[in-house]
A and B are shown apart, each in its own frame.
Chain A
Amino acid sequence: MPGRDEFTFYEILEVMPDATSQQIERAYRIARSTYQPGSVATYSLFSDEDNAETLRRVESAYQVLSDTRLRREYDARLRTHGSQPAGRSRAAAAVAPARPPWTLRPPTTFGLEPDESLEPDDGVFEGGVLRRIRVARGIELDEVATFTKINETYLQHIEANRFVDLPPRVYVRGFLREIAKCLKLNPGRVADSYLKLYDKQIPRV
């Protein structure tokens, strides 16, 4: 693919310089599945060599941006160079006088923007609904586990409404709030709604 040397690590992952660690992780996972060998999304456009080269750059970008210290150092280097990677094309500069990298391709949130249309019409956030929203956002369970620090088994129990296998109520509330944050939902609403169902099955003592 032409012009790849001109991109910053943020551009390679297609995230803003102030992207959160979750957004970087999200972008990385999507890039990895997009350019993996045999990818259905790219086979008709890019050669295997092209994809391998893109993947190599994605891995390099991720290695730096996912590490707090390395990212800070990289940001400092970018600032020193006026936020422009060396060798940026004249054309790109012409397109983007104000905020260079994203004039042709504005930044993306990779499905992490608030999205009311995903929420249930009846307002009930039961496990199946949480699962559906997670899948619609393209987020794997292990990704939720990474960000919420909740054991994946508990996440499975929550999505399957296996209330009896969950820890005490106070922990479940905390879990639900973290899951909601990860899925860009309202933590209070999700926790209250789910716990109503929980309370029907596990009477409070």
Chain B
Amino acid sequence: MPLTGTPNSLNSARSRAPRSEPVDPVPVPGGASIWAVGGGKGGIGKSFISANAATIAARSGMRVILIDCDLGGANLHTCLGVRGTPERTNLSDVLEDRVVDLDKIAVETPVPGLRLILGALGHTGTAQTNHEQCEHLLQGVRRLPADVIILDLAAGMDRATLDFFNGADKSLLVTTPEPTAIENAYSFLRAAFYRRLSYAMNGSPVRDVIRDAMSQREGLRTPDDLLAAIERVDPAETERFRSVIRGFRPRLVVNQVRTTDEVKMGFSIRAVCRRFFGVDLDYVGYINYDDFVWRSIKERRPLVTAYPQSDGALYIRQIVKKMLKD
């Protein structure tokens, strides 16, 4: 059944703009809450969701910093109407120690309360960012004066992207209902999980077992298989393994949804992840396919400010509400 939604004329989507974002500001105790938005595949709406989620949080009165973690083809700035050029100071300058203070490179955006740290344009020098660099960067991110910090991750699943995804307080896995995007989402999730697991089990006698599981050798297809294998090698390590599984709970968003069946696909993906990966995804919502999305991108404005009454804006607000309350 198609998703007909609310009447979507240009005027109705624009003109009935709420005076303020209807999301209650939630104080974040003990520093910023770091969110990461990833998903493996390009073009699934990671930057769009990051920009709009950040805008909603900022308009509810929070101090928000958006970080474009794409170190090659950054374009988050365009979603916000900020001009980006390769000469501007960006995240790669921090990773390569040309800049120490992250706060100083966060630029203002047209949205009050929202600042942006640019990603790298046409830069390839930091493709091999190592785990220590990522850890160091995340420590710097945690010191930023903000309530919410959103990391817009690059496509693909290089180590830096996985480390940012794992290092965030709340990780958002984005997919669209297409087979290619879902396949990439599973691969991304699996890679992130095993990277997390291998760091958590550092120095453990079962690391070889985990390596076998990562390469799907020895018939280790599911976490149940892995658990059984770990138990055979060192029963004492099963508790550590269980705590890693419990601590890994990404949130799932299905973007560009057109039908109710595609809405339900989020529940299916969740069921598959539970059964096949042992990972308990939290399906926080979907965003329907909406012409106003591309209109807003062409206008280089966040959807939630350009067309606050559009369906897409409504669904993103619901997702942000959930993210802030969890």
Give the shortest distance, in Å, between B23 (CB) and chain A (any CB): 8
Interface contact A136-B286, CB-CB below 8 Å: yes
Q: Which 4 A-B pairs have the closest CB atoms?
A: A91-B228, A121-B22, A41-B268, A34-B268
The residue on A at minimum CB distance from B325 is: A117
Residue picked from B179, B267, B283, most chain A C-beta under 10 Å: B267
Residue B85 CB within 8 A of the other chain: no
| A103-B177 Cα distance, complex, nearest whole Å | 30
The verdict on B312 contacting chain A, using a C-beta distance below 8 Å, is no
Query: What's the tally of chain B residues with a CB closer than 8 Å to chain A?
Result: 51
Q: How many A-B pairs fall under 8 Å by CB? A: 118
Interface pair A14/B318, CB less than 8 Å apart: no
Q: Does B100 contact A (CB under 8 A)?
A: no
| Residues in A neighbouring B270, C-beta threshold 8 A | 108
User: Roughly how many angstroms separate A8 CA and B286 CA in the complex, as a whole number?
Assistant: 32
A79 to B304, CA, bound (A): 54
23 residue pairs of the A-B complex, CB under 8 angstroms, read A3-B222, A3-B225, A31-B271, A34-B271, A34-B272, A40-B182, A41-B272, A44-B183, A89-B228, A94-B231, A94-B238, A95-B227, A104-B245, A111-B267, A117-B285, A117-B318, A117-B325, A121-B22, A122-B22, A128-B5, A132-B5, A135-B263, A136-B286
In contact, B274 and A108 (Cβ under 8 angstroms): yes
The answer, yes or no, to whether B84 is at the interface (CB within 8 Å) is no
A111 contacts B271, C-beta separation under 8 Å: no
Which residues of A have CB within 8 Å of B317? 121
CA distance A92 to B260 in the complex (A): 36
The answer, among B224, B266, B285, B321, for a CB contact under 8 Å with A92, is: B224
Is there contact, CB below 8 Å, between B274 and A105?
yes
B235 interface residue per 8 A CB criterion: yes
Q: Mark A129-162, 1 if CB is under 8 A from B, else 0.
A: 0001001101010000000000000000000000
Which parts of B1-52 form the interface with A (CB within 8 Å)?
Answer: 3, 5-6, 18, 22
Q: A45-B186, A121-B22 are in contact. List 4 more A-B contacts (CB 8 A).
A: A31-B271, A46-B276, A105-B274, A140-B260
Alpha-carbon distance A88/B214, docked complex (angstroms): 25
Q: Mark B161-204, 1 if CB is under 8 A from A, else 0.
A: 00000000000000001110011001000000000000000000
Contact A41 B265 (CB under 8 A): yes
Q: CB-CB < 8 A to B275: which residues of A? A: 1, 14, 105
Q: B231 touching A104 by the CB < 8 A rule?
A: no
A124: interface (CB < 8 Å): no
Contact for B242 among A43, A46, A95, A111, CB less than 8 A: A95
Q: Is the CB of A135 within 8 A of B3?
A: yes
Q: 1/0 per position for A81-107, CB-CB distance to B under 8 A?
A: 000000001111011000000011110
Assembly CA distance A89 to B285 (angstroms): 35
B261 contacts chain A at the CB level, 8 A cutoff? yes
Q: Chain A residues with Cβ under 8 A from B286's Cβ? A: 136
- Known contacts A2-B222, A95-B238, A138-B267: does B318 contact A106 (CB below 8 Å)? no
Chain B, residues 267-305, CB within 8 Å of chain A (1/0): the string is 111111011101010010110000000000000000000
List residues of chain A with CB within 8 A of the CB of B131.
none
Chain B residues near A110 (CB-CB < 8 A): 267
A89 to B229: give the CA distance in the assembly, Å. 12
- B223-239 contacts to A, CB under 8 A, are 223-225, 227-228, 231, 235, 238
Complex CA distance for A132 and B311, rounded to whole angstroms: 10
- Cα–Cα distance between A89 and B276 once the two chains are bound (Å): 17
Within 8 Å CB of A46, what residues of B? 276
Is there a chain A Cβ closer than 8 Å to B88's Cβ? no
Residues of B within 8 A of A34 (CB): 267-268, 271-272
